[in-house]
Structure 1
C-alpha cells in the first residue's frame, strides 16, 4: 500500500468560540495529529524552545520568507510578525502525518488561498448570546471590546461559505467528536483512496 500523504485540517471561527479548548481536547484523544507550529519575530520567553513553541526569526528573516511566499498566512500584532511556515506543514504532510492548524478567520482565508487542498472547519457558537457570555466570562474584556468582538463575529460568520464543514460548539465533547469524524471521513474520501490505488495499478503493470 502506498503511504498516504497527510491532510491539513484548519479549525477556525470567531474569537471566544472555543477554538483552543476544542483543539486541546482533540489532541488528548488523537496523538497522531501534528500541531502546526507558528513562526514569530517576538522575543523567546523563558522556558520556550525554538521549533517547539514557535520558530523564532528576525524581522529581516520573516520578511524574506514573505517575499518568497514561504508562509501560508501571516499577520503583524504589536510590531511582531506571526505566521504559518509552508515548509514545515508540507514536510510534515509528506511524511504522512495530518497537520492541525487552529487560527482566526482572516488567517484561515489566507491559508485557503495559498493551500486550497486543506480541509477547513468553521467552529460556530450555539448563539451570539452564548458567544457574548463566553467573552464576558473571560473577565479580560471591556464592554467596548466585547461589542467590537461581537461585531467582528457577525462579519466572520458571513464568511462561513468559504469553509468545508461547520461544527457547532455547544458542548466540548460533542464538538470534538464531530471534528474527529470529519478527520476520519476525509481519509475515506474516494478521491484520496482512488489516487493511491491508481498508482498501485500502474506499478503492477510496470
Structure 2
C-alpha cells in the first residue's frame, strides 16, 4: 500500500458483473468488508424485494413511477430494463464517494457495465463466473428465490453474457468466497498503482520541490 501523504491514487469505480447465480453480490460485500477504502454502490430497482432483502442495503426498492421521476431528473449514472424491471445506479451517492477519496464497487449487469464505462472511462470491469455452467445452474436453482419461468429466462441470457467476457478487464472464477474476494482485492490494489491514477501527496510534493531547489 502506498505511504499516506506520499503518493495517492485517484479513486475509481470497479464494476463486477456475472451471470445470475455466480455469487457477485455476496462477493462484493466480502470485498468491502476486507477493505475499508472501498464502498458498495447500492443500486435501485422496481422489482419486488426477495426474502431477506432490505431497502437501502441490498437495493433501493422504488416504484416504477418514482424511478422514472428520478430518471427524468438525470439522477442515474446508468439504467436499464432487465427481465422486465428497471434497474439503475443513483448518480449522486456514487460520485460523492469518489470525491471523498473512496473507491466504489458496483454490482451491475452487462448493460450497466457498458453504460458506466462510457460515463467513467477509467473504471475497471471484472467478470465473475463459476467453474462450470452446470455449477452455475445448480446455484441458480438452489437459491429458491426465482420462479421456473425466471430461471429459464436467466438461463437463456447466459450465452450473450458469456459472449461479453472480452469487454471486461479481468475474469475471476468464484469457488470459495473469501479466496475469490482476495483475488478481486489483488486486482483492485494493483489498479491503484497504475501510474496514470497516481498523484503526489503533500510529502511527495515537498520532496520534489526540495530536489528542484537543490538542482
TM-score category of the 2 structures, normalised to the smaller one: 0.7 to 0.9
**Runs of 5+ in structure 1 lacking a partner?**
none
Structure 1: distance between partners of 2:12 and 2:190: 12
Return the offset for 1:141. Answer: 3.9
Instruction: Please name the residue that 2:194 is paired with.
Output: 189
Q: What's 1:11 paired with? A: 16
Shift of 1:149: 1.9
Partner Cα distance (2:159, 2:47) in 1:
31
Correspondence for 2:96 among 91, 95, 103: 91
Q: Would the aligned equivalents of 2:78 and 2:112 in 1 still touch at CA under 8 Å?
A: yes
Q: CA RMSD in A?
A: 3.4
Conserved? CA contact 1:37–1:55, under 8 Å:
no
Gap change, CA 1:55 and 1:200, over 3 Å in 2: farther
Question: Which residues of structure 2 form unaligned runs of 5+?
Answer: none
What is residue 54 of structure 1 aligned with on the other side? 60
- Which runs of structure 2 are paired with 1:69-80 in the superposition (5 Å)? 70-76=75-81
Q: 1:112 to 1:39 in 2, by over 3 A?
A: same
Measured at CA, do residues 131 and 55 of structure 1 come closer, stay the same or move farther in structure 2, by a change above 3 Å? Answer: closer
Of structures 1 and 2, the one with the larger relative CO (CA 8 A, separation 6+) is 2
Which residue number in structure 1 is paired with residue 31 of structure 2? 26
Question: Is residue 44–residue 59 contact of structure 2 (8 Å, CA) maintained in 1?
Answer: no
Q: TM-score, normalised by structure 2?
A: 0.75
Tell me which residue corresponds to 1:158.
Answer: 163
Matched, 1:63 2:71: yes
Residues 142/90 of structure 1: CA separation in 2 closer, same or farther (3 Å cut): closer
Q: How many residues are treated as equivalent by the alignment? A: 198
Q: Is the 8 A contact 1:10 1:100 kept in 2?
A: yes
